[in-house]
Amino acid sequence: MAAPIGVGERPTRRRSRTSSILDGAPRLLLLAPVVLLYLLFFVWPILDVILRSVGPNGGTQQVPTGWSLDNFAEIFKDDFLLRIEWRTVVLAITSTVLTVLLAFPTAYFISRLSRRTGAIVLLLILVPFWISIVVRLFAVTSLLSPNGLLSEAGQLLGFQSFSLLYTFPGVLVGTTMYLLPYMVLILYARMSGLDGNLMQAARTMGASPWYAFRRVYLPMVRPALLSGGLLVFILSLSFFIVPSVLGGPKDQTISVYIQQQIDLYRWGVASAMGVVLLVVTLVCYAGVVRFSGGIRAGAVTSVQAKGVSSQEPFRWTPGTVVCGVIAGLSILVLMLPVLLVFPMSIGETGTVMFPPRGFTLDWYAKVFEGKTWTAPLIQSFIVATCCAMLSVAIGFILARTLQRMRSATFRAVFSGLAFAPLIAPAILLAIGIYSVELRLGLTGTTLGLVLAHTIIAFPFAFALISSALAGVDPELEAAAWTLGASRNRAFWTVVVRGILPSVVGAFALSWVTSWDEVVLALFLLTGATKTLPVTIYQYLESGILPTVPAVASMLVASVVVVIVARAVVSRRGRVRREARSAVGAA
């Protein structure tokens, strides 16, 4: 009788011949369209902008007939442009400092709370994080206007009526509101995983609370603090939507100026500005890599396991009181714009105001009358769904390919290239892809926007799927082959089913990324049906109708419903797993 073949022996030989669905020629065939998409809608747009920046008059020729640095000389010599550049840097630095000052105490306070209380407080941070920026900006414009809530509160305290709209402080408020959730989640991910015994040991050795915090706790958090601060600075440096909505003529930033120059067909100076912005972004990203090893999407898309508060009971001290007050202020800054959209949508007057006058739900009905809102809603849904499907497919192909690579260097290089679209400034990608799609005849088409959105959405899908694949035991797939399953069947039933929650999460994150995107859609859908965020953005510029808060309210409600449903499903799943574990132990 022949000796039985071990599970670790035959699958090894078979894996060398047909290791997975993506091995050999099939893998290359699947990878080819991904590479083509990346070259067409990321590499080519970046090169196009660079060539325009050094070409004569920002020409559209692929190989300039003459090289010139006049565009770069202009942006460093023109006093007007120097003021714009200085204003952009000041805004980025100020918003980064303000964000860190609010985020650090907030994240620290949440990390000290119990698991359940911390989850509730963190949910108040996540709700605004998932709501479209144009929806929040609509509420902020109402807050900062002369008849807004801030002005009325000031009048009650004896001050005169004032307006922060179209001012630098107003832009700073909007920028901080946008950046705060990112910084809180990055810091919280680090703080919640720290070992509380280290602080306890320092206090046992006679160190004061402040000395232990400064010499023990702060050094452990410093990498996340520095990398998060640099990442926030990168985001604020290339802001477009916030300054264009909340800023005035005296508050122009580089991104707003680039958009204006493209409208005037001054590609040369605009491209040079974009290249300078890209160089500064790359330098800052090098700092992020230096301190944290690069972008980790999971740091801002998931809630990490509680560490400190599960070991130590929460105690009110002077430090936690101060942090709690700042955390309350941070939550107020994030939640107030979200809460205001509902009351502003039920007023009977034809103008948007707070508090509302009268009560009516007619504005919700008017949203579905005609195609003013229904056409953008359908357009956004189609684009986001197609983008999410394509992003998940690309994420799977890349993650599976990198999983089979033996060279750690190649894996690092390909991973860096995959995350490159997240590093590039949005306005630079917008003008580059716009120029490329003009040549390809894709401007104003749904397909063109889907492909452009996929470039900025697939890195998130890739991050989640590759992280999930790393936790899958390859021997399980090999065992399925041994039992007679085909490669395809083993792949779908063992690998895909095992990481299905991450696949769903990748689809959802890519869908939201496309749904919320404004800059690319603003450039690429010229003359075509706009997406919903672009439609709201254009109303913010031209004049707000009461239907805008009605649409915003429905978007906020849908986000809240999805988050609550996800929390309920997760809780039921956890209860079932605990029950099964208890039964198994019994």
Q: 40 lies in a domain?
A: yes
Please, what's the b/e burial string for 297-327 (b: 16 or more CB within 10 A of its CB; e: otherwise)?
bbbbbebbebbbbeeeeeeeeebbeebbebb
Q: 73 lies in a domain?
A: no
- Determine how many CB atoms are found less than 10 A away from the CB of residue 446: 17
Report the pLDDT value the prediction gives residue 112, as an integer from 0 to 100: 86
| Maximum C-alpha span of the chain | 98
Report the pLDDT value the prediction gives residue 15, as an integer from 0 to 100: 43
Side chain identity, residue 218:
L
Rounded Cα distance between 145 and 529, Å, is 30
Report the pLDDT value the prediction gives residue 293, as an integer from 0 to 100: 60
Report the pLDDT value the prediction gives residue 97, as an integer from 0 to 100: 95
Q: 571 lies in a domain?
A: no
Which tens digit of pLDDT belongs to each residue from 250-297? 888 999 999 988 888 888 889 999 999 999 888 888 877 776 665 554
Minimum mean pLDDT range among 33-37, 301-305, 485-489, 494-498: 301-305
CATH number at residue 517: 1.10.3720.10
Rounded Cα distance between 394 and 277, Å, is 28
Which of these, 304, 286, 306, 303, lies nearest to 295 by C-alpha position? 286
Mean pLDDT, the chain, whole residue set: 82
Apex CA 300: angle with CA 515 and CA 496, to 5°?
75
Minimum mean pLDDT range among 29-43, 75-89, 155-169: 155-169
Q: 269 lies in a domain?
A: no
Question: Which tops the pLDDT comparison, 110 or 130?
Answer: 110
Q: 451 lies in a domain?
A: yes
Rounded Cα distance between 326 and 338, Å, is 19
- Determine how many CB atoms are found less than 10 A away from the CB of residue 117: 13
Name the pTM for this structure.
0.83
The band of 26, judged by pLDDT with boundaries at 50, 70 and 90, is low
Side chain identity, residue 335:
M
The number of domains in the chain is 1
Side chain identity, residue 453:
H
Helix (H, G, I), strand (E, B) or coil at 313: coil
Which tens digit of pLDDT belongs to each residue from 107-120? 999 988 888 888 88
Q: Do 547 and 363 meet the contact criterion of CB atoms below 8 Å apart?
A: yes
Rounded Cα distance between 99 and 109, Å, is 15
Rounded Cα distance between 247 and 138, Å, is 13
What share of the chain has pLDDT > 90, as a percent?
30
Report the pLDDT value the prediction gives residue 283, as an integer from 0 to 100: 87
Domain that holds residue 393: 17-56+368-544
Rounded Cα distance between 474 and 471, Å, is 9
Cβ-based neighbours of 452, under 8 Å, separated by 6 or more: 41, 429, 433, 437, 520, 524
Q: Do 381 and 444 meet the contact criterion of CB atoms below 8 Å apart?
A: no
**Helices H / strands E in the chain, number of each:** 30, 0
Report the pLDDT value the prediction gives residue 2, as an integer from 0 to 100: 42
State how far Cα 245 lies from the chain centre: 19
Cβ-based neighbours of 581, under 8 Å, separated by 6 or more: none
User: C-alpha dihedral over 256, 257, 259, 263, to 10 degrees?
Assistant: 140
Q: 98 lies in a domain?
A: no
Report the pLDDT value the prediction gives residue 4, as an integer from 0 to 100: 42
What share of the chain has pLDDT > 70, as a percent?
84
Backbone conformation region of residue 294, classed left if phi is above 0, alpha if psi is from -120 to 50, else beta: left
Report the pLDDT value the prediction gives residue 13, as an integer from 0 to 100: 42
pLDDT (average), residues 424-445: 92
Q: 95 lies in a domain?
A: no
- Determine how many CB atoms are found less than 10 A away from the CB of residue 106: 28
Rounded Cα distance between 495 and 485, Å, is 13
Structure tokens at 56: 């004569």
Question: Which tops the pLDDT comparison, 352 or 361?
Answer: 361
Residue 150 pLDDT exceeds 60: yes
Residue 585 pLDDT exceeds 80: no
Apex CA 283: angle with CA 279 and CA 284, to 5°?
115
Residue 38 pLDDT exceeds 90: yes
Q: 488 lies in a domain?
A: yes
